Structure 1
């Protein structure tokens, strides 16, 4: 038998945890929005309608991949870019603006509010550690 201790899992910040949940659920809705663009034939003339499905699928995959990259600053920036691209979909189907507002609001809370809460928790832990010294 080995006396090796199990490795501690990496600490995940609150923006990383909540942001990944938001992006994962948004990926499902964005794929369905792509299907809506296809079904409503909302793309301009000259653009094949199946591009709506492709765009929805690509955005969904990018959101799933980005949810695993939120530990990096550029992963958070990529998440913001994906939110903007999703908002641009409202030019084709105005109802996508509702999706953007709902998930965009959750994304703002996950990233900005989560970072604020994370800073407060870190300060409380530092104060508790200073008291025990």
Structure 2
């Protein structure tokens, strides 16, 4: 059963377009709706939505940070060396400068978060299917 599809698609912030610009850094389909992309600011704010099973690669934000505000569905966040943390609407994740991490939907749920990001992303290896599939939805 696929959960939370309507919740994500009809959320406060628009679903956005298919995230083709960053597709090579994701497994599965994600969507991106920029909310703040002012070149005079050193921060980007976007609504990022994930279809079930979609997740981004391991990555870091160098010279900055990332704050995730979970708005809909169910997802995962994992920092390197830590267990994966299941996320629900209202959860907040603070990722400090240079911390290797990934985030995405659970296997059976859509997921959305507002990402507040500063710094330069460094995209790394994908989260292997065998690791992701072991996570308990």
Q: TM range, normalised to the smaller chain?
A: under 0.3
Normalised by the length of structure 2, the TM-score is: 0.23
Greater radius of gyration (CA): 1
Q: Which has the higher strand share?
A: 2
